[in-house]
């Protein structure tokens, strides 16, 4: 009786472990299928004329015929010449340090 009970417990634990592995693999399969689906959508998008036009504009700087391109430059304090009265915490040449820029961004200074 004890031997049969031991074998039954062993088989039950082995069955439980195999079920957990199967469930884990099912989750992995679902994730991979979702990733395959997303990649399929990307491939479809990359083959569209809309994407090709966007890529030509961004990477190659091309434009449609009759279209005018306007370039807007940011007025960055780092690009301005340094003055003797710069704030404390300014880095080389009057440019703000990274920390100061973050503080200004977060607290709206």
Judged against a pLDDT cut of 60, whether residue 81 lies above it is answered with: no
Q: Domain ranges for the chain, please list them.
A: 25-57
Cα gap 46→38, rounded to integer Å: 12
pLDDT tens, position by position, 3-49: 999 999 999 999 999 999 999 999 999 999 999 999 999 999 999 99
* pLDDT in the model for residue 51: 92
* Coil, strand or helix at 86: coil
Asked whether the beta carbons of 89 and 99 are under 8 A apart, the reply is yes
Asked whether the beta carbons of 58 and 50 are under 8 A apart, the reply is no
Sign for the CA dihedral angle at 78, 82, 85, 90 comes to: positive
């Amino acid at each position: 009786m004890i031997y049969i009970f031991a074998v039954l417990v062993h088989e039950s634990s082995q069955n439980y472990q195999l079920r957990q592995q199967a469930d884990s693999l099912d989750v992995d399969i679902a994730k991979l299928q979702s990733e395959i689906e997303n990649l399929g959508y990307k491939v479809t998008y990359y083959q569209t004329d809309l994407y090709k036009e966007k890529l030509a504009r961004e990477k190659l700087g091309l434009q449609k015929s009759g279209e005018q391109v306007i370039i807007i430059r940011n007025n960055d304090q780092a690009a301005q010449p340094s003055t003797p009265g710069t704030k404390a915490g300014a880095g080389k040449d009057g440019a703000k340090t990274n920390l100061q820029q973050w503080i200004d961004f977060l607290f709206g200074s």
